[in-house]
Amino acid sequence: MSSIRSQYSLSPGPLPAAPSLRRPAARWMRPALTLLQLGLVGLLGLSACHSDDRDLGDEAAGRTPGGMKPSGPGPSLPPDYMPPSCKKVDVLFVIDDSGSMADNQLSLIRSFPGFVDGMRRKLAGAQDYHIGVVTSDDYYANQSGCGKIGSLITKTGGPKSSKMDCGPFPGPTPRRYLTNEDTDLKQRFACIAQVGSGGADDERMARGLLNAISPTTHQKGGCNEGFLRPDSLLVIVLISDEDDVPDQCEGTVCATNGSGGTPDDWFSEFKRYRPNTDSVVVMSLIGRRANNPCGAVPASRLMRFTNLFKTNAYLGDICDASYDSFFESALPLIGSVCGMIPG
């Protein structure tokens, strides 16, 4: 938030001429003149500051957005005032389901209730949430016909998963994502987020994300139908202890590893599906440094992709024992971006 600084250059004009004297004023008179000058400066300064207070914006002048003057010192807001807020929020979790991620998934599940409660506090005007989970690999335990990477998870299976049939979730029509109307939202998220550790070690985090937002998966009858809204705030949470590795080439023969392409390629494809990236926040819980306590691989490519969203990017450390502070400290950014989206 920018601050407003006002500078005043006050140079009082010459004092009225004294009666003509044949010699300079005596030395004992000079302090009196100086005090008189300072008095004039103070009066001018008070007048200027008072005038400037009227000319500054509402916040600087101690006025609320409704034009009301506060009853006490400092600005105050009407009891029913709510800051500008988006109305729709889509939250997509892209979860690495490779062999080393079971504990990280449990940490995410433990932190989810505080994250949801924090968004509800911060985004007071948001009335409609969609929450979904995809993985870093094809997920064959998922509902029939939706095993391809990027499909929203409704059924889990394999080692260290919840091994539950979590959805489709009830509503006017069955859906493959959670909403704020789910009375057992936190329990259902725990069901779909514990995807287990049966995925390939060649993680494709970017491909999971890009397939999830592709128009193909959102068309009628698609595995992600109805999840993503073009006028929503889209919050993406990537969580992985590995990087999305580059292709490997030997001579003229190349093998596609990871999602293929570069972070810039991923970003370009993302913008084809979601042109307005100003309405997107990307939060990445990834390996941040080489010497870390959990054996995570520094994810330079996922970090590069995240940072392409500029001020809407937020990075966290996958090795943290709890993710509570990561989600809590990201709330101001989420609230700021939400406030820029027309309601």
Between CA 257 and CA 246 the distance in angstroms is: 6
What per-residue confidence (pLDDT) applies to 76?
56
Between CA 133 and CA 162 the distance in angstroms is: 14
* Range 115-140 average pLDDT: 95
Tell me the C-alpha to C-alpha distance, in Å, between residue 217 and each of 155, 224, 330: 17, 5, 29
What per-residue confidence (pLDDT) applies to 237?
98
Angle between helix axes 263-273 and 300-307 (nearest 10 degrees) is 40
Residue 292 has pLDDT above 70, yes or no: yes
- Among 35-39, 132-136, 253-257, where is mean pLDDT lowest? 35-39
Q: Which amino acid is at 275?
A: P
Tell me the C-alpha to C-alpha distance, in Å, between residue 2 and each of 59, 73, 278: 12, 22, 20
Averaged pLDDT score across all residues of the chain:
82
CA nearest to 10, candidates 51, 49, 54, 41: 41
Residue 47 has pLDDT above 70, yes or no: no
Residue 259 has pLDDT above 50, yes or no: yes
Query: HEC states along the chain?
Result: CCCCCCCCCCCCCCCCCCCCCCCCCCHHHHHHHHHHHHHHHHHHHHHHHHHHHHHCCCCCCCCCCCCCCCCCCCCCCCCCCCCCCCCEEEEEEEECCCCCCHHHHHHHHHHHHHHHHHHHHHCCCCCEEEEEEEECCCCCCCCCCCCCCCCCCCECCCCCCCCCECCCECCCCCECCEECCCCCHHHHHHHHHCCCCCCCCCCCHHHHHHHHHCHHHHCCCCCCCCCCCCCCEEEEEEECCCCCCCCEEECCEEECCCCCCCHHHHHHHHHHHCCCHHHEEEEEEEECCCCCCCCCCECHHHHHHHHCCHHHEEEEECCCCCCHHHHHHHHHHHHHHHHCCCC
User: What's the full length of the chain, in residues?
Assistant: 343
What per-residue confidence (pLDDT) applies to 41?
38
Between CA 197 and CA 106 the distance in angstroms is: 12
Between CA 106 and CA 103 the distance in angstroms is: 5
Note the pTM of the prediction, 2 decimals: 0.76
Residue 184 has pLDDT above 50, yes or no: yes
What per-residue confidence (pLDDT) applies to 342?
82
What per-residue confidence (pLDDT) applies to 79?
54
Q: What are phi and psi of 206, to 5 degrees?
A: -65, -40
Per-residue tokens: 272: 């084809």
Question: What would the pLDDT profile of 219-235 be if each residue is shown by its tens digit?
Answer: 999 999 999 999 999 99
Which residues on adjacent β-strands are paired with residue 178? 131
